[in-house]
Amino acid sequence: MPDTEYFDAIPFHFWTVTFFIFGCIVGSFLNVCIYRLPRGENIIFPPSHCPHCNYHIPWYLNIPLFTWVFLRGRCAHCRAPITVRYFIVELLTGSLFALSWLCVGNSSLTLALIYCLVIGALIVSSFIDLEHFVIPDSITLGGIGVGFVLSFFFPQIHWTDSLKLSMQESFLGILVGGGILYAISRLGKLAFGRYRYKIKADEKIILSEEALETPSEKIPYSEIFYRPTDRIIIQAASVELTLINAPQPQEPADTEATEPTSPASPSYQWESARIELSPTQLKVDSQTWDPSEVRKVELNAHKLTLPREVMGLGDVKFMAAIGAFFGWKAVIFILFASSLLGSLVGLTLVALRKHELSARIPYGPYLALGTLLWMMGGYYWYPSLFELVNQILSPFFQS
């Protein structure tokens, strides 16, 4: 494989700069993915345009970093503000690409490029997860496949020359990564019971036939209800409940038992009420319905309690993908590092009163940070991590 001999003729840091610039350009494309993937849009066509006025951005106004600064974060055509995320993602991608060259460029160009691919995927998933609380399957399931195939062609991802070892590492990485997070997500639901979803004052909520919809997100019941005892509890004002229409008689008019058909769906209203929804029952104050008879409930919520969801299955697939690239040892390290980071950040936010302990926090960005730590040297610290744990624990376990 064409590794660093060719590159040695040119000063090492020329390539560092090249990786940075390359990263900024890729970052510009990642911004497009972050916007379009969760919206189910094509990431290639149409080319970059302003989401407000549809103005096609010409190439000379599509230069990473500079454009955003030069236009001071506004569209050149309609002056609508462009989020600072565009600038941050470009700078971050450039910096991390350069860092990946600095970390492994000396030993393998191929590895540095594979790291760049992974970094791109980590950035896209983190920013999507922060905004939408999901990680697209195209990244997670796609990542499992790509990681496994790359382990076949480039065993050096797993720091080995042996094809057999490399495939084994990748396979175990998928199993251990997906398996541990799946177990945690199941156990977490059993252990924590319920959590409170933070809502704005008088947030409009719709309980439709298959999902709980808030202005910002749509949570399918399949993600909320795991046990028959799971319940959504809402304190609400101005509730409107609409039942499903009685079925229209299809038979010819001469049959005897034609039910009178109501022109509108029957509906009920309350000024304020306590609503409790389980997979089998909808209860408004003391009246009950079968959920299958109800079309939707529209309400303004004061307080909403959901069965606690510790992690979505998105994180399970995400961790399996990371395992496919870096193996099961990496999975253990990344889980350890990310939960440490997550608790530190979470507790800091709670201390600063920016967050409630029970609020929903996306876990993807922490997994991504943990993965970065692993790529940038975690495999070196790994033995010392065990050494440290051993030193802490050994006094307690000596007989």
Which residues contact Zn ion by CB under 5 A? 50, 52-53, 55, 75, 77-78, 80
Q: Tell me the closest approach of the beta carbon of residue 79 to Zn ion, in angstroms.
A: 7
Cβ distance to Zn ion smaller for residue 52 or 200: 52
Cβ distance to Zn ion smaller for residue 81 or 377: 81
Cβ distance to Zn ion smaller for residue 56 or 200: 56
Q: Tell me the closest approach of the beta carbon of residue 10 to Zn ion, in angstroms.
A: 41
Size of the chain in residues = 399
Contact 173, 326 (CB under 8 A): yes
| DSSP code of residue 247 | P
What distance lies between CA 343 and its chain's CA centroid?
A: 18
Cβ distance to Zn ion smaller for residue 83 or 138: 83
Q: Tell me the closest approach of the beta carbon of residue 25 to Zn ion, in angstroms.
A: 22
Q: Tell me the closest approach of the beta carbon of residue 52 to Zn ion, in angstroms.
A: 4
The CB-side HSE value for 149 (13 A sphere, CA atoms) comes to: 6
Q: Is the dihedral of CA 90, 91, 96, 98 positive or negative?
A: positive
The structure tokens listed for 348 are 């800091």
Q: Tell me the closest approach of the beta carbon of residue 78 to Zn ion, in angstroms.
A: 3
How far apart CA 203 and CA 302 sit, in angstroms, is 7
Nearest C-alpha neighbor of 299 from the set 394, 213, 195, 224: 213
Phi, psi of 153 (to 5 degrees): -80, -30
How far apart CA 131 and CA 360 sit, in angstroms, is 12
| DSSP code of residue 204 | E
Cβ distance to Zn ion smaller for residue 47 or 215: 47
Cβ distance to Zn ion smaller for residue 80 or 393: 80
Q: Tell me the closest approach of the beta carbon of residue 70 to Zn ion, in angstroms.
A: 15
